[in-house]
A and B are shown apart, each in its own frame.
Chain A
Amino acid sequence: MPEPARAQIMDSSEGWFAAVLRALQIEGRHEVLESYMKDERGG
């Protein structure tokens, strides 16, 4: 797949993924990862 086509897919899919995260209302919930996953770092 040529790079321009690949980039176009990535750009369009980013919009779709952003809509999914927005619909699920998990934007800004990064603290969950920070508080529950930090012990896994390096594992």
Chain B
Amino acid sequence: MTITQIECSVLEIPLPAPLRPAWAPGRGLSQLRKMATLAEVAFKKFILHTWPNGIGLGANLHLATSLPNCPWFAFPVDSPSLADRVYLAQQLRQVAQEAGVFLAPIDRVYRGLAVGSIEPLSVPAFNLRGLTYDIARAIWRVVRRTQAGPVIFELARRLNQAARMEYDLAVLVQHGASTPGLDDLARLSEDLTDEQRFYQARWAF
């Protein structure tokens, strides 16, 4: 197998962005090395990344350290297993409950409204589609400050996320209401997605 015409034409694109080739067993490291040389003469960086296994990581690291135009190396951190996530979510839920934050169904309120035991009341539903923890925390701050009535959080996982992600997101919302929340529990910092934030919390236990 040789370098394709498409791959060569990419080198002619006048963009400063580095090339980030995906290593695949069919292509082989030798072909990547050729591409890296072509990239070098085109004044482009050539950033390798890998995630298949330890052997693949070792091979790619070997190649990366031999290339003059490969200053970085991308190595994704795998998500915890489903069992780890469930365990983590249970731990987080327990902490939130000990802090006095618990989940509750809204049907009791609706029943009360239906029979007139509660004065007419609107229950807003907030759809959270990103920054779940932060948005929930902002809403909880307002609810707490204004002593507002019940609110509903509607959660949805992305299509490519694993099952039970709704449960994870619910835990994030639950923790958004607690003081301290995950920020203090896990010393979470900047630039984290909801999923990363959730996984980061494992360090709190």
Q: Which residues of A contact B (CB under 8 A)?
A: 1-3, 6, 9-10, 13-14, 17-18, 20-22, 24-30, 32-33, 36-37, 40-43
Contact = CB atoms under 8 A, between A and B. Distances in A.
B142 A28 contact: no
Interface residues of B, number: 35
A27 B109 CA distance: 16
A9 B148 contact: no
A26 B124 contact: yes
B146 A18 contact: yes
A36 B147 CA distance: 15
B12 interface: no
Interface in B120-158: 121-124, 126, 131, 134-135, 137-139, 141-143, 145-151
A32 B191 contact: no
A3 to B, nearest CB: 4
Interface string B99-117: 0101111001100100000
Q: Which 3 A-B pairs have the closest CB atoms?
A: A29-B149, A40-B104, A26-B149
Contact of A41 (B102, B108, B126, B191): B102
Contact of B148 (A1, A29, A41): A29
B138 A14 contact: yes
A9 to B, nearest CB: 7
A36 B126 CA distance: 21
21 contacts: A1-B131, A3-B190, A6-B190, A13-B138, A14-B138, A17-B139, A18-B142, A21-B124, A21-B148, A26-B121, A26-B123, A27-B147, A28-B147, A30-B149, A32-B112, A33-B149, A37-B150, A40-B104, A40-B105, A41-B102, A42-B102
A10 B134 contact: yes
Interface of B: 97, 100, 102-105, 108-109, 112, 118, 121-124, 126, 131, 134-135, 137-139, 141-143, 145-151, 189-192
Given A6-B134, A14-B142, A26-B124, 11 more contacts: A2-B190, A6-B131, A10-B135, A18-B142, A21-B148, A24-B124, A26-B122, A32-B112, A33-B150, A40-B104, A43-B104
A27 B141 CA distance: 13
B146 A43 contact: no
Nearest to A18: B142
